[in-house]
Chain A
Amino acid sequence: MLEHDVLVIGAGLAGMRAAIAAKAGGADTAIISKVHPVRSHSNAAQGGINAALIDRGDNWEDHAYDTVKGSDFLGDQDAIEVMCQSAGTSLIDMEHMGVTFNRDDAGRLGTRAFGGQRRARTFFVGDFTGQAMLHVMFEQLIKSGVRSYEEWFVTGLIQEDGQVCGVTALEIRTGQVYAIRAKTVIFCTGGLGRVFEPSTNALIVTGDGIALAYNAGARLMDMEMVQYHPTTLAGSGVLISEAARGEGAYLLDKNGDRFMEKYAPNMMELASRDVVSRAEQTEINAGNDVDGCVLLDCRHLGAELIQEKLSQIREIGIDLIGIDMVKQPIPIRPGMHYIMGGIKTDVDGLTNLPGVYAAGECACVSVHGGNRLGANSLLDTIVFGERSGNHAAQAAREIEYVDFDVDGVVDRERERIQDMLDRPNNDDRVASVRLGMGQSMNANLAVYRNQAGMQETLGDLDELRERYSKVPVDNKGRVFNTDLVFALELGFMLDCAQTIAVSALDRQDSRGAQSRTDFPNRDDENWMKHVVVTKGEGGPDISYLPVTVTQWTPEERKY
């Protein structure tokens, strides 16, 4: 029997950090991931990681205030305080582990400016900070001796009388289904970007953990808060880092004017992401676009700076659309990038389900509220990854393994999968259902939203769920059946899509990433609260939780 005190699902930065912490806390720890750890989507974080270092004259309260303001006052301030206070230590830990952060002239860690913050406190490795950190975390995972199940896909959470007792998982290489017993489970499965089409997110980002937890009874919170990143590449929609604007790039409309003057006269291109994306969408809607895009102009930064600090995004522009940002502005537009919402946890990562934790993008602590600041996500992963690992290891000491009918569970899961493989061909395709979902979400749950559009998407989703229940799987084999994995992921995505749409429809104000044309203003009197969604008998149930305010009273946001 495979069994572990702590089982971490997902091996990105949050997951590996959690596993290393749990192992250090004395727990028998394993990590399970549908891809090899270094393939995780933490790779894609480009610009950097925020931390207020006291010896640089910065202080955590300033960082916290910027984060609270960026969240449009929807973030829980107690949680934000925890994150910003821990930031310095967590950052230095990463440096000690070996991350090759850029330095200043004195050989100390160097910073760059980032959006929505009043001072430069973003530490970075070129424009591939996430990749640099992820690979170092993997090095530490190797050093830690944590058991790693690589290319294992978790298909279900096993519970007995409300207590989690393990997971079912598909070993992708062999097609075998296993049950893994666990005292505690930590979800670190990342976001759900592929629910939208297009998205900056990698193809593996399918909301698995969010859906698994939701279906097991966990509360999801702030699910309507979907970040559209201001600079995603025309066509494929891949990310062009905020670091470009942090280093001084301009946003231009079709006339070559810096339109951000109208929307954020002080911070200009470095206003918070929701503000910049809205400004771009407004300009595009007004016809000031170039083929549906606005332009990101880096030319004045010079070839040398671009090569040293923005080489990866330069490479992406050349490879994918044949434009060298040293010589030409690149066409960009707002694109789905991040979910602020997720599995509701406390500051130790604990959810409302005993023994179940969550950290990283799949979790909602909530430190990002209505809008996440750039370079706060890497910070989120390592701070709350570590805390949840510590807490889960400690909790596991007090918990006994729960007995369950292992063979029965495995047989049922195997049958469920076999039923999917046995579906008759009906000319429908998994990819076409996913595309229908993604396009509907992108049409109606994007930068601007309204009731009619969101209701239309909810209708679409009902139809798509119906189609999903019958969609055939081409590949009937066992060995590395990626076709089957996509089909299983699509089920998770459809669940996630529905929770986003119902939450967004429920919130009748505009705040952070949610801009409703039918409710254009922030309404603190009625909607200064978190929208919570849980799985009910007949579908999603909505409830609310208060926003925790410690020291910063809500005010109008200006950048």
Chain B
Amino acid sequence: MRYAFFPGCVSRGGCPELYPAATMICQRLGIGIQEMPGASCTGAGVLQEKNQPLGDALNARTFAMAEQLGLPILTICSTCQGVMSQANRRLKQSAEYLAEINSHLAEEGLEYRGTTDIKHLLWVLVEDYGLDELTKAITRPLHGVRMAPFYGCYIIRPSDALDFEGHPERQTSLERLIETLGATVVDFSGKTRCCGFPILTTNEKNSMAMVAKHTGDVKDLGADAMVTPCPLCHLNLDGFQPKAAAQAGRKIEMPILHLPQAIGLAMGIRPERLGLKRHIVSVKPLAAKLAGVG
């Protein structure tokens, strides 16, 4: 089981705790990952507003690199997943368009033949690795922990770009993973909504309202933590939670975990090795609860 690793910008930038946590659990689970040092940012949907062909060319370039390695891409970011899936669909839909984009890649000696598959770690675990197999690696199940899922838009919609029809299990993959970790799922309607990060600089008030709504809702439902496969969501839900709580005029203090961190905890990896101290919202109450359980 081997993948071309696409960590994305934020796991090495705004959320530097994510990258080591992800590589650590991959290593322990025996999921082989190979870096693509020349791979670029996906454009995150922002670059695409200005120049979609450039975005598609950048992604085709990454896909071509993975194709050369003969490996599917593994990403640890919902946004990267969605943006790459959408680009891949456009490239695969039209041979003409693919040829045009390839003409731009030729200078670097690259060509994308349209065969690369892109999978988030979440999907890899559910579809390729298997949750039964994962269960075997769970040494410290998160019993008693009430955990709310938060997907991130791009790994949910538009569902046809993400091939939900071919993989209906993707719709509930995060809940099933939380259950596998031994935690109790705190279901709430906001789990597939937007965290507000993309409008942070254009309409901070609305962005904060979204953070406060989602973190506050799961607080009201008695969640101990929220887990997300999207580092951009994490930036907003964790990093901006104090500001959002102040705007909403309430106390929230909801710990937000990256997906690999939640898995790592259930695998018995110590919180500090997973970078939990780097979070803005303290994870201490959760850690204490886990220690109590253990």
A and B touch in the complex (CB under 8 A): no
Q: Which residues of A come within 8 Å of B, CB atoms?
A: none
Q: Which residues of B come within 8 Å of A, CB atoms?
A: none
